[in-house]
Every structure is written in structure tokens, then in C-alpha cells.
Amino acid sequence: MTHLEILKKFKKFKPFELGCFCISLCFILLLCFLDYRSVGSRFRARGLGVWFGSGSSSHPGHDRFGFLEMGRVEKCDIFDGSWVWDESYPLYEGKDCLLLDDGFRCSENGRVDRFYTKWRWQPKDCNLPRFDAKTMLERLRNRRLAFVGDSIGRNQWESLLCMLSTAVANKSSIYEVNGRPITKHSGFLVFKFADFNCTIEYYRAPFLVLQRRPPPGSPKQVRTTLKLDKMDWGAGKWKGADVIVLNSGHWWNYEKTTRAGCYFQEADGVKMNMSIETAYRKSIETILNWISKEVDTNKTQVIFRGYSPVHFRGGDWKSGGSCHLETLPDLSSSPVSPATMFYSNIIGSVLSKHENRSSSQTKLEFLNVTYMSSKRKDGHASVYYSGPKDGGPAPLHRQDCSHWCLPGVPDSWNELLYAVFLKREYSLAGISPATTVTASPPPV
């Protein structure tokens, strides 16, 4: 088309139409002079309900205390909050951490998106202290921290190993005391941070109470029993630790108990018709009694980490359930279903009753991560628990929507663990945290 033909086309426009065209053209040219990436990122962030790259929360103008600075008068539920985008995250990179199972290395196993690593948990009414690996290691010097529970507890344990290792220049000074590799292991693993003479330990005990052979005379379908009034055999190894992080829940279901021939036992009697809810409640009571009788809570801080929800869609782990297409959290403030809160509600109920009927309060802190984790359907390993060397990613019908990618959601659990750990440390030492730890959102 020649210049003359173009001019003839323009003559056909009415003055109003020509004016609109010119204004639109000027606007487009103006955009060319702007930083598109900055504008684009802000528009995308608005679509998600938060500002990408912003450490602020969804409650503008709301002044918050630092969690560590709060006294007995001020209260803050650190489990009530929202996920906010934070460009300073993740706290470590999986490729830089040697203390990580291949099954949690989602990025290395082919997951391309990185959104799931960029979210920080922001409590509604206070600010958490910024995680400082050096501070935590100094506080753990000459001490033991033990995780006890199922494979989700192992997920959290490996997360903390990676977070703490960022403060250690000589990575060879971190090692498993028995020379065992950090691959799937059925017993226990103890990693020592030699520069601080401290150990970060994991003990596999998915029920926390004792699983054993059934008593003589039990019905044929009873292959094993859970002794609801006895702690796991390994309890003697944990009770001397300075910090104990317990968890259970994922094995307390029909598939892992009754269907597998595992029934519930009290004293010498097998309870063939006892419900899982009743059995789980009794197991929590046993744990509280064990703490009261066996653990020196003046020395040992005992924490129970709540249930971590699963996010299978269209089935479960063995029937084609999936989560591989999830790339963003649920940023709504909608309540969580009663089914999701099942285990956490039982723990809360038992703790409340125990405190009401006991003259001396059992010192068990409840790290109730269920609500915050329920919003993170994007954070699971899905098909990325299997890497290229194992022929991965895994097939779509065999997804893992229970365990979490690392770095990822368990890092946030450990930030909460860090906060309650420091809170107790400073309280026992009579230290004012205001001059020691920054409790404001991290810089961006």
C-alpha cells in the first residue's frame, strides 16, 4: 500500500474517529517509554490480590507488634493470617542444599514455575521475626533438636537442615553421625553441626504410640495393634532432647489402620470397633501423660506440629488424584472444611480438657499449621518427586499431593518454629528481644 493510498484511507475517517485513533496511538507510544516490567508486574500482582515484591500484608494501615516483643497483655494468633508475595524468598535454593532427599527437589526434578517458593506467611496482628540461621544455631549450641513423626515430619526436618546450613560456610562440617546417607530411611537420622556442637535429629514414629504384634487370641484379621496407652519404642531416645517437635495424623486413617489389619488396643484388649477419632484422641492423651511424667519441661521445649492437609483433586494417591496444575495459593479468607480440621480440632480439644482438669499445666505448644497449609495447593511435589535419573517426572496417575516441595511450605512452618523457640529462649533468659531480633517484614 502506497503513502497516497494510506492518506486516502484517513480521509474517510470522521473527525471524532480520527481523534480517538490519534489518542490511542499516543497512549501506545507513551507505554513504550515506560518500564514495562514494572508496570506489568504490578498489574499481575493486583490480579492476585497482593503486590508482587511487597512485604506488606493485605491489611494496609494496620500497625503490628513484633511477635517476640509482645508481652502477656498483647495477644497474637500467629496461625491466623495470609500468604503474601515476597521477592526475598526462598530462604535457600534446593540445588545448594546437600541435605535434601531427591523426592523433595521439585525444581531439579523438572518443575519450571517458581511461584510456589515466593510466598511468606504473614500473621494478621503481628510480625514474625526474620529467620536467622546463625541466631538459631547459636541458641542450639551444645543442644539437641528432634523431629518425631511421619514422613511429613521428615519433610519439615529436611527443610530446617537446609535453612540452618545457610549459616555454615564449611558444608562438610555438617554430617550424619552414623555415616548414613540422607535417603529414605526407616529408623532415625542424626545430623551434627560440628561448629556449634548441636544435632538436628529425625525419628520415624508415624503414630507416636506403640505399634506391635497383636496379643495372643486376637481375631485372624488383626495383624498388628496400636497400643493407645504406650508411647513408641523410640521415646527413650527423644525425651532427652532440648527441643522436640512431634507430629502425627497422616497414618491415622482407614487405609493405614483397619484395612491394613492394624487395630487399636488398650491394656491387653483389642478394640475391634473403636473409631479412628476415638483412638486418635486417646493417643494424644497418652502423649500428654508421657510429657508430664517423662519429660523435664524446664529443660525441654515440646511442640506438636498440627496436621498438614493434602490437596488431591479427582481421586487420592492411588486413584489418579492430581495437583500438578496448581501454581498459585488460595488467597481467599474462606474457612477450612471440618474434614481438613479434623485432627487439629481433636488436638485442641484434648489440650483444652487437659488444662482444665490438671492442676499443673502440661507444657506442650501447638504449632497449628493446618489452616495456613490448606491454602497452599500449589506447593506439593505432585509429579516432581521423581527426577530425570529415575525416569521422572512421575506419571500423572501417580501424584504426590501430600508431601511438599523444598524450598516451600515447610520452611514457613519452621519460621513459626523459630518464633516460638526464640520466644521461650528470651523469656527464660529474661532478655528483651527488641534489641536482638528484627520483627518487621523483610526488606524488598
400 is annotated as an active-site residue:
yes
Decide if 67 contacts 123 (C-beta within 8 A): yes
**How many CB atoms sit inside 10 A of residue 83's CB?**
24
Q: How many angstroms separate the CA atoms of 418 and 136, rounded?
A: 7
- In one-letter notation, the amino acid at residue 314 is G
Q: Residues with Cβ < 8 Å from 262, sequence gap 6 or more?
A: 211, 223, 224, 225, 226, 256
Instruction: Tell me which of 400, 402, 411, 412 is the catalytic residue.
Output: 400
Q: Among candidates 439, 412, 384, 330, which has minimal Cα distance to 118?
A: 412
DSSP conformation letters of 30-76: HHHTS-HHHHHHHHHHHHHTS-TT----SSTT---EEGGG--SSS--
CA distances from 406 to 114, 290, 362 (A): 11, 33, 33
Q: How many angstroms separate the CA atoms of 116 and 83, rounded?
A: 11
380 is annotated as an active-site residue:
no
Q: Residues with Cβ < 8 Å from 75, sequence gap 6 or more?
A: 125
Instruction: Tell me which of 151, 242, 330, 354 is the catalytic residue.
Output: 151
User: What is the enclosing helix (H) or strand (E) of 120?
Assistant: strand 119-123
Instruction: Tell me which of 150, 283, 403, 412 is the catalytic residue.
Output: 403
Q: Which residues carry out catalysis?
A: 151, 400, 403
